[in-house]
Structure 1
Amino acid sequence: MLTLHTAPLLRVALDAEPAAGQAVLVSGDRVEAVAPLDVLTEAYPGVRVRRWAGTLGPALVHDGPLPPAPTPRERVHALFRRGVGAVVAAYLADPALRAAAARNDVAVVVDARSPTLLVGGRADLAVFGPDGDCLATVVAGRLVHRRA
């Protein structure tokens, strides 16, 4: 299923200037296109559109111990509330924690990298409000966190 994610501002990389009127088209767990919203809605009539408040961009890479919580699942979900879609492998040494990350499609990376939205790349997205709080997180094309 195709889903179009859009927000008032879109940033393709964490250090890139945000641009208005842009959107990300997601097909399954991949980014299908990053283009102006009007171009994508015209090219894909009837596509499901998720409109977010704030700034849309790549999900973050977590480079440190996971937040404390009673269970491995809750530790992973604490990352989603922060806009994280990937974790450095060194912090997933515990088999139960690694399994919880795998069940939730968290990307495991060798080292911290600056995430970028790339056509054909994993659809790991996050939306941040003006105060820096995470409003929504999409991991491998699946909405895993949405702030009420």
Structure 2
Amino acid sequence: MLTIHTADLLVTGPAGSGSAPLPGGAVLVEGDRIADVGPYEELAAASPHARTRRWPGTLTPGLLVRGGDELLERTYYPDDPYETTELGTGPISGPEALAALKMTEPRWGNSARRGTQKLLARGVVAVTGRFTSPAVRTAVIRSGLAVLPPAAYEGPARLDPFAGRDAAEQAFHGTLEPGAPARFAAFAVDGPAELLERGPTTCVATVIGGRLLHRRR
């Protein structure tokens, strides 16, 4: 099925990648790939039977988070609402705190699933890291997130892909062009500058492999 995703502004890649931001731009998706990119009116006229999804704000490539193994294998996300009264709502990390939780492989897998949902809700489509826990690795694969080799980075891993970045585009994973994987996100902001200022929790939709994996309710 053909689907057109459109927003007030389309940003296909980092500055200097060859295409300027396009007001009213759109991405035509066929299966798990991008079939075409351009003004919404042109794509809709060329594919009149395509389903249209309209998003507020800015449509961009999905985001990359560094240190995914630290975020998902060495950080515990309490199960809301069952554990938050005792453990709080924030992520738990550090050897002593994790030892007190007496973590098991299934519990790590459940935590990782909650962690991947938090990443998807921030427009993340890829993480770097090397996963050694089978349960965590399975959770990451099932989430649809791409896994890239570990990369050097400064500071602790964070759920915020923009942490330590000077521009939102530095966190983009890939570009939006015909033939590329259908992997992108929409944010309720007016452009990359506001996205960096307000952060990834402005995400309203995340698409991976052509599938809508997160939609803000």
Pair in the same fold by TM > 0.5: yes
Question: For the residues of structure 2 that align with 1:111 and 1:8, how far apart are their CA atoms?
Answer: 35
CA-to-aligned-CA distance 1:11-68 (integer Å, 9 cap, x gap): 0014465320210011111111111111110110121000000100111011123264
1:79 aligns with 2:119: yes
**Conserved 8 A contact 1:28-1:141:** yes
Residue 117 of structure 1: aligned partner? 176
* Superposition misfits of 4+ residues, deviation over 4 angstroms: 111-114
Higher strand share: 1
The equivalences for 1:15-54 within 5 A come to: 15=15, 17-54=20-57
Q: Which residue of 66, 71, 92 corresponds with 1:66?
A: 71
Task: State the shift of 1:122 in Å.
Answer: 1.1
Instruction: Give the conservation status (yes or no) of the 8 Å contact 1:66–1:76.
Output: no
Structure 1 Cα separation of the partners of residues 38 and 136 of structure 2: 36
Q: One-letter code of the match for 2:211?
A: R
RMSD of the TM alignment (CA)? 1.9
Gaps of at least 5 residues in structure 2 are: 79-110, 152-170, 190-197
**Separation (CA, whole Å) in 1 of partners of 2:21 and 2:209:** 22
Give 5+ residue unaligned stretches, structure 1. Answer: none
Kindly tell me the number of residue pairs found equivalent between the two proteins: 147
Contact kept? 1:14, 1:57, Cα under 8 Å: no
Q: 2:135 — aligned with what?
A: 96
Matched letter for residue 73 of structure 1: R
Whichever structure has more helix as a proportion of its residues is: 2
Q: Which of 125, 129, 147 matches 1:108? A: 147
Taking structure 1 as the reference length, the TM-score comes to 0.89
Instruction: Choose 1 or 2 for highest CA Rg.
Output: 2
TM-score normalised to the size of structure 2?
0.62
Q: Secondary structure at the match of 2:56?
A: coil
